[in-house]
Structure 1
Amino acid sequence: MAKEKQDTLFVGSLEKGMRVLNVFGERHTVLGLTEIAELTGLDKSAAQRLTNTLHKIGYLQKDPDSRRYSPSVKALELGNAYLWADPLVQLAMPKMIELGRQLGERVNVARLAGTEIVYVIRIPTQLTAFGAMIAGRRLSALTTSSGRAMIARLGEAERKEAIETWPITALTPKTTLDRAKIAEEIEKAIVCGYGLTQSENIMNEIGIAAPIMTGDGRPVATVQCSISSLKWSLERVREEIAPHLIEVANSIHLPVQAKT
């Protein structure tokens, strides 16, 4: 068997440093050195050198008493750079602000990133929980309205592979783990033009999303709305929300070369 060609431009130490930054998030906001080593799979000596370097250049802050680390304000600059660079964010933001005002509900734009969706725009309401306001949150594509809406627009072979192999993370007792049922929901999304979920990621929440396509017909993002099932029925969501999402999604024209 032929050996895989080595990438001579790949910098392993940089990859390990980014691995350290990537362990911080919603579930791990403050970490000690031992925890960082365990989560990254690095030995403690390597984790210490990398963490110290990231602290010295400003991306991690260190509590002088507990000696635990957390991301610094400088780390936020990485997300800021992405938002400026992604043409989708600039095209969609004013439309999403108007859509949120029109519907009076929380609206989002999500990107497809591998087997997950990532929220890149979030327009909250006054009652929105903090976690649902923050851009950058990742969720399993198969359990979200955004993921299902985009998978529905893939070619048949890609769609089948996604349904059969992409990972599923159960976040509520209602998260669908049966891939046959997920396939049924994606088939419905093909027909109606939007994805729909109920209590899959947050209890009593209906998610509905319409796909945003590139010029060559690839699904790369969605316009999504999250609604309380205590206030809205599925029928009302289909009748009163879906047409607006589809209209806005169709009005966002991305070039073939758009970032995915």
Structure 2
Amino acid sequence: MEKKQNPLFVGTLAKGLRLLRAFDESHVSLSLAELVARTGLEKSAVQRMAHTLHHEGMLERDPGTRRYRPSHAWLELAYAYYWSDPLISRALPKLVEFSRAYGETVNLAQISGDHIIYSLRLPNQRTQFAASIVGRRLPALGTASGRVMLATWSKEEVTHALENWPIRSATPKTITDREAIAEDIARAKNDGYSITDGQMMLNEISLAVPVISIDGRANAAVQVSVSSLTYDEARLKGEILPALLDTAGGIPG
């Protein structure tokens, strides 16, 4: 209702963006009917917008199946984003240095609403394709990165997040109890790091350290993913944590 009452809000543009957001890792190509189902918009509107976005180069259309998929223009937008965010250029050399020294997967995660988004990912040789692509979004409460960032926020903001942000069960080990997550955030506030085990992927331990800005708040985190078949928490804290703290501390927030 607030958006509709805002005279600057362009409803047609918002609908077009909703159509673009219908595509994700599970929906890489969509028919017109599928676009209607995923957006909840009228078929005639979806047809016009999909045609326009195809004409403007934002969507590819298979001439045989008539299915739509994202075009290379999305990569151009990502390219522009990388140049626009100074944190990316400051973080990349530090992550490269860490990756070369330790040979483990290291990521830069940033807060994106009630999710985190991986904006830099340096995989190791064992990393699967899905875990090496930038732009992946995950519910912040279910990740070490999200929790360690929240640990630097105000009490009121953390309470709001715990009460309202989504939680998705990705594995049998995913913690969905909000009180347990609150306790983990409190530990992260005291420790300066967060560790999760099997929350988003089985046999994966995640260690995250906040990238602190000048005001003491973190909207980004450096995160390492390792195999629980190779590391336990004690080894991770002993061998990786000191270097990860140095890496994050060397990135101006």
Q: TM-score, normalised by structure 2?
A: 0.96
SS of the residue 1:134 aligns to: coil
Q: 1:91 to 1:55 in 2, by over 3 A?
A: same
What secondary structure sits across from 2:5 in the alignment? coil
Which letter does structure 1 place at the counterpart of 2:157? E
| Residues 94 and 250 in structure 2, CA contact (< 8 A), matched pair in contact too | no
Show CA shifts across 1:141-161 (max 9, x none): 011010010011111111122
Secondary structure (helix, strand or coil) at the match of 1:207 reads strand
* Distance in 2, Cα, partners of 1:194 & 1:109: 14
1:64 alignment partner, SS class: coil
| Cross-structure match for 2:209 | 210
Structure 1: stretches of 5+ with no match in the other structure: 255-260
Give the AA of the match of 1:153.
Answer: T
Structure 1 position 164, deviation (Å): 2.4
Could you tell me how far apart the structure 2 residues matched to 1:238 and 1:4 are?
Answer: 47
- 1:42-81 equivalent positions in 2, closer than 5 A: 42-81=41-80
Shift of 1:241: 1.2
Calculate the aligned-residue CA RMSD, in Å.
1.3
Runs of 4 or more above 4 Å deviation: none
List aligned pairs for 1:115-126, cutoff 5 A: 115-126=114-125
Instruction: Provide the C-alpha distance between the structure 2 equivalents of 1:192 and 1:216, rounded to a whole number of angstroms.
Output: 19
- Matched pairs, number: 252
2:132 maps to what in 1? 133
Task: Say if 2:208 and 2:223, in contact at 8 Å, map to a contact too.
Answer: yes
Q: Secondary structure at the match of 2:173?
A: coil
The residue correspondences of 1:75-90 to structure 2 (distance < 5 A) are: 75-90=74-89
Mapped partners of 2:14, 2:207: distance in 1:
36
The AA in structure 2 aligned to 1:63 is: D
Give, as a single letter, the amino acid of the residue that structure 2 aligns with 1:205.
E
1:43 Cα shift?
0.7
Post-superposition offset of 1:189? 0.7
For residues 75 and 112 of structure 1, what CA distance do their matches in structure 2 show?
A: 21
Matched, 1:165 2:164: yes
Identity %: 48
Aligned to 1:104: 103
TM-score (norm 1): 0.94
Aligned to 1:257: none
List gaps (5 residues or longer) in structure 2: none
Partner Cα distance (2:109, 2:68) in 1: 29
CA distances 1:49-82 after superposition (whole Å, capped 9, x unpaired): 0000000111111111111110111221111111
Moved more, 51-60 or 181-190: 181-190
